[in-house]
Chain A
Amino acid sequence: DSGVTQTPKHLITATGQRVTLRCSPRSGDLSVYWYQQSLDQGLQFLIQYYNGEERAKGNILERFSAQQFPDLHSELNLSSLELGDSALYFCASSKRVTGELFFGEGSRLTVL
């Protein structure tokens, strides 16, 4: 158990819908990362937050947004969903801005 909690574990929805994925980092970790992993693919970096502020942005679509709240949990919002958005979405946390990342078990999103 990494200490990073992601909910929901599984989510099935329809095209055009909007979903919110939630992540609680390890106790004491200030940095939260979001990654997308499509079937049998690598981990695509989406976005990073540190202590509530956005620190780095990857190939995140405009339909996606995220934020980190004062209690350090983070949410990833995915809107106008398309079939190609079906993937595993991982959250990871670390103590500092840089350094070792610890991953949650992921949220599996299926768009039908």
Chain B
Amino acid sequence: GQQLNQSPQSMFIQEGEDVSMNCTSSSIFNTWLWYKQDPGEGPVLLIALYKAGELTSNGRLTAQFGITRKDSFLNISASIPSDVGIYFCAGQLGNNNDMRFGAGTRLTVKP
């Protein structure tokens, strides 16, 4: 199936550092979304990408839709303790309607 490979699986960084995570697939996606999940809560949408090559920012977050439409990355600049959580990428194919999720990147920020 259209599996999403998200990396890294986990990250331990110092407050103030920049973070980068990515998702790749063997399939072509029409939509890439990035979510953050805090413990015991539902995922919250961070950034949505709809066009190949699109680069979108949301505060300290920046995400890009890969030119090949098979990958996307998320960068977080100047991390702060509240950035702690699990970050998920999600992709939606054109010929299917379901939204598939990566396995998540667990981010820990040390003050």
Binding site for B on A (CB under 8 A): 2, 4, 31, 33, 35, 41-43, 45, 48, 50, 55-58, 90, 92, 97-106
A105 CB contacts on chain B under 8 angstroms? 41-42
Q: Please, could you name 13 A-B residue pairs with CB atoms under 8 Å apart, sorted by A?
A: A2-B44, A4-B42, A42-B101, A42-B102, A43-B43, A43-B88, A45-B101, A90-B43, A100-B45, A101-B90, A104-B42, A105-B42, A106-B42
In contact, A97 and B44 (Cβ under 8 angstroms): no
Q: Smallest CB–CB gap between B11 and chain A, Å?
A: 16
Question: Is B98 touching A48 in the complex (CB atoms < 8 A)?
Answer: yes
CB distance from A4 to the nearest CB of B (A): 8
Chain B residues within 8 Å of A, Cβ to Cβ: 30-31, 33, 35, 40-45, 48, 88, 90, 92, 96-104
A-B CB contacts (within 8 Å), total count? 60
Bound together, the chains give a CA A90 to CA B35 distance in angstroms of 14
Q: Bound complex: CA of A3 vs CA of B63, how far in Å?
A: 25
Q: Which of A35, A48, A101 contacts B45 (CB 8 A)?
A: A101
CB-based nearest A residue for B42: A103
Nearest-neighbour CB distance to chain A for B78, whole angstroms, equals 26
Contact A97 B42 (CB under 8 A): no
Taken together as a complex, chains A and B put the C-alpha atoms of A31 and B97 apart, in Å, by 10
B98 touches A103 (CB 8 A): no
Contacts of B99 in A (CB 8 A): 33, 45, 92, 101
Is A98 a contact partner of B31 (Cβ separation < 8 A)? yes
Known A-B contacts A42-B88, A103-B42, A104-B42; A98 and B97 likewise in contact (beta carbons under 8 Å)? yes
Which 6 pairs between the two chains have the least Cβ-Cβ distance? A103-B42, A56-B98, A43-B101, A42-B103, A56-B97, A55-B97
